[in-house]
Amino acid sequence: MEGSPIPVLTVPTVPYEDQRPAGGGGLRRPTGLFEGQRNYLPNFIQSVLSSIDLRDRQGCTMVVGSDGRYFSRTATEIVVQMAAANGIGRLIIGQNGILSTPAVSCIIRKIKAAGGIILTASHCPGGPAGEFGVKFNVANGGPAPDVVSDKIYQISKTIEEYAICPDLRIDLSRLGRQEFDLENKFKPFRVEIVDPVDIYLNLLRTIFDFNAIKSLLTGPGQLKIRVDAMHGVMGPYVRKVLCDELGAPANSAINCVPLEDFGGQHPDPNLTYATTLLEAMKGGEYGFGAAFDADGDRYMILGQNGFFVSPSDSLAIIAANLSCIPYFRQMGVRGFGRSMPTSTALDRVAKSMKVPVYETPAGWRFFSNLMDSGRCSLCGEESFGTGSDHLREKDGLWAVLVWLSILAARKQSVEEIVRDHWAKFGRHYYCRFDYEGLEPKATYYIMRDLEALVTDKSFIGQQFAVGNHVYSVAKTDCFEYVDPVDGTVTKKQGLRIIFSDASRLIFRLSSSSGMRATIRLYAESYERDPGGHDQEPQAVLSPLIAIALKISQIHERTGRRGPTVIT
CATH number, domain with residue 522: 3.30.310.50
pLDDT value, residue 515: 65
Q: Classify residue 29: in a domain, yes or no.
A: yes
256/388 same-domain check:
yes
Residue type, 365: R
Given a contact cutoff of 8 angstroms between Cβ atoms, the answer to whether 85 and 164 are in contact is: yes
HEC per residue, 337-378: EEECCCCCHHHHHHHHHCCCEEEECCCCHHHHHHHHCCCCCE
CA distance 302 to 289: 5
417/533 same-domain check:
no
166/313 same-domain check:
no
CA distance 118 to 72: 10
Q: Last residue of a domain, which of 408, 425, 442? A: 425
Q: Is 149 a catalytic residue?
A: no
528/380 same-domain check:
no
The helix (H) or strand (E) run that includes residue 276 is helix 275-282
Q: Classify residue 548: in a domain, yes or no.
A: yes
383/456 same-domain check:
no
Q: Last residue of a domain, which of 195, 220, 239? A: 195
Do the bridges between strand 565-566 and strand 427-438 make them parallel or antiparallel, or are there none, so unpaired? antiparallel
161/226 same-domain check:
no
Q: Which domain holds residue 99?
A: 9-195
436/415 same-domain check:
no
CA distance 140 to 391: 9
**Interhelix angle for 40-50 vs 72-85, to 10°?**
40
**Residue from 297, 294, 311, 341 nearest 509 by CA:** 341
220/344 same-domain check:
yes
Compute the Cα dihedral for 511, 516, 518, 519 and give only its sign.
positive
pLDDT value, residue 233: 98
pLDDT value, residue 323: 97
301/417 same-domain check:
yes
Q: Classify residue 277: in a domain, yes or no.
A: yes
Q: Last residue of a domain, which of 195, 220, 242? A: 195
DSSP for 384-412, please give it: TEEEETTSSS--HHHHHHHHHHHHHHH--
pLDDT value, residue 516: 79
CA distance 353 to 92: 41
CA distance 483 to 372: 12
Q: Would you state the torsion angle of the CA atoms of residues 544, 545, 546, 551, taken in this order, to the nearest 10 degrees?
A: 90
Q: Classify residue 2: in a domain, yes or no.
A: no
The phi, psi pair for 20, rounded to 5°, reads -75, 120
170/230 same-domain check:
no
**Residue from 278, 90, 275 nearest 177 by CA:** 90
pLDDT value, residue 519: 94
**Residue from 261, 269, 264 nearest 296 by CA:** 269
Residues in the chain: 567
Q: Classify residue 4: in a domain, yes or no.
A: no
150/276 same-domain check:
no
Q: Classify residue 281: in a domain, yes or no.
A: yes
CA distance 79 to 182: 16
Cross-strand pairs, 431: 523
DSSP for 465-501, please give it: EETTEEEEEEEEEE--EE-TTT--EE----EEEEETT
CA angle 476, 479, 483 (to 5 degrees): 140
Tally the domains of the chain. Answer: 3
Given a contact cutoff of 8 angstroms between Cβ atoms, the answer to whether 155 and 143 are in contact is: no
Given a contact cutoff of 8 angstroms between Cβ atoms, the answer to whether 119 and 101 are in contact is: no
**Residue from 140, 132, 125 nearest 79 by CA:** 132
pLDDT value, residue 2: 55
Given a contact cutoff of 8 angstroms between Cβ atoms, the answer to whether 320 and 421 are in contact is: yes
Cα→Cα distances 93→31, 97, 99, 262, 384, Å: 22, 6, 8, 21, 27
171/262 same-domain check:
no
Q: Classify residue 1: in a domain, yes or no.
A: no
CATH number at residue 186: 3.40.120.10
pLDDT value, residue 514: 55
The phi, psi pair for 224, rounded to 5°, reads -85, 125
pLDDT value, residue 532: 96
Cross-strand pairs, 284: none
pLDDT value, residue 185: 75
CA distance 114 to 537: 45
Given a contact cutoff of 8 angstroms between Cβ atoms, the answer to whether 366 and 490 are in contact is: yes
Q: Classify residue 3: in a domain, yes or no.
A: no
Cross-strand pairs, 94: 194
- Please give the chain's pLDDT, 567 residues, in tens: 557 899 999 999 999 999 999 877 699 999 999 999 999 999 999 999 999 999 999 999 999 999 999 999 999 999 999 999 999 999 999 999 999 999 999 999 999 999 999 999 999 999 999 999 999 999 999 999 999 999 999 999 999 999 999 999 999 999 999 999 999 777 899 999 999 999 999 999 999 999 999 999 997 889 999 999 999 999 999 999 999 999 999 999 999 999 999 999 999 999 999 999 999 999 999 999 999 999 999 999 999 999 999 999 999 999 999 999 999 999 999 999 999 999 999 999 999 999 999 999 999 999 999 999 999 999 999 999 999 999 999 999 999 999 999 999 999 999 999 999 999 999 999 999 999 889 999 999 999 999 999 999 999 999 999 988 999 999 999 999 999 999 999 999 999 999 999 999 999 998 654 567 899 999 999 999 999 999 999 999 999 999 999 999 999 999 998 887 777
Q: How far apart are the first and last CA of the chain?
A: 53
Residue of 51, 105, 122, 252 with catalytic role? 122
